Structure 1
Amino acid sequence: MPKMIFVNLPVTDLARSTRFYEAVGGTKNPQFSDDTASCIVFSDTIFAMLLTHDKFSSFTARPIANAHETCQVMLAVSADSRDDVDAMVGKAGSAGGKADPNAVQDHGFMYSRSFEDPDGHIWEVVWMDPAAVESGEAGAQQSA
């Protein structure tokens, strides 16, 4: 069985965040969602658990950071093409997020852009040319 990842994100407005993540391509799984959490499915192995602050606080004694002011983590998700990178970031911007809070990265064989969700969580969307990876070109360009 492949490893799965569940990214737990504290959100201030669960309904707004759910709509946002559905707009960028996720699907809400009602089986694992209620009035305190939305399970957003991106693939068979990638899930975002959107949790109200009260729910999130039940899992940790640490304070919840304001992601608009601090950064503890940047999340990255792969895309199938450069156009898919642009499309996802475009959807995020249209759905109430912020497109490109970080600089666009274009290394030829690798292309990435980012978006910020309504709560300030930053996601990188990355495409890498499979031929460059297979040939070793990507690694050679990274170390040059």
Structure 2
Amino acid sequence: MTMIFPNLPVKDVEKSKRFWTALGFSFNDDFSSEDAACLVINESASVMLLSERFFHGFHDTTPHTGTEILMGLGVASRDEVDRLCDAAEAAGGSDTETRVDQSPMYGGSFRDLDGHIWEPLWMEIA
């Protein structure tokens, strides 16, 4: 099985953990430390939330200031799209309040505590 571990810089690892826990996600403590938190998306995908200092220690380029990535997140229902966007705002992030309803797809987007854009998307599969 191929697994994917995107790495994202965060200002405060503990605050990020609280944010994602409030959205209903869990962490793999085996791959977490004071500088890193392994956010479990599902059995084959996790996201590494790394302190900015730790993240930038892996490369020699200057930090980017613009959007670097949009993280798509497949969810089980239209209601789950709205729940995640609402929960993100309640946990200190921001719901972009953008909803895209293009049957058979429905999606939204939110920014986490560090401004990373996440796009929950539900697709009706016939």
TM-score by length of 1: 0.83
With 87-96 and 112-121 compared, the bigger mean Cα shift is at: 87-96
| Structure 1 vs Structure 2 CA RMSD | 1.2
1:71 aligns with 2:67: yes
| Kept after mapping to 2: 8 A contact 1:25/1:42 | no
1:98 aligns with 2:94: yes
Q: Which residue of 1 is the match for residue 82 of structure 2?
A: 86
Q: Which residue of 1 is the match for residue 21 of structure 2?
A: 22
DSSP 3-state at the match of 2:42:
coil
Q: Which residue of 2 is the match for residue 43 of structure 1?
A: 42
The structure carrying a bigger helix percent of its residues is 1
Unmatched 5+ stretches in structure 2? none
Code of the residue aligned with 1:46 in structure 2: it is A
Q: Which residue of 1 is the match for residue 103 of structure 2?
A: 108
* Partner deviation per Cα, 1:32-91 (whole Å, 9 max, x = no partner): 11111011111101111110111101211112224xxx1121110101110111111111
Point out the structure with max Rg over C-alpha: 1
Q: Separation in 1 of the partners of 2:20 and 2:64?
A: 20
Code of the residue aligned with 2:42 in structure 1: it is S
Unmatched 5+ stretches in structure 1? 132-144
| Kept after mapping to 2: 8 A contact 1:22/1:40 | no
* Structure 1 stretches of at least 4 aligned residues deviating more than 3 Å after TM superposition: none
Q: Identity rate of aligned residues, in percent?
A: 39
Q: Which residue of 2 is the match for residue 32 of structure 1?
A: 31
DSSP 3-state at the match of 1:50:
strand
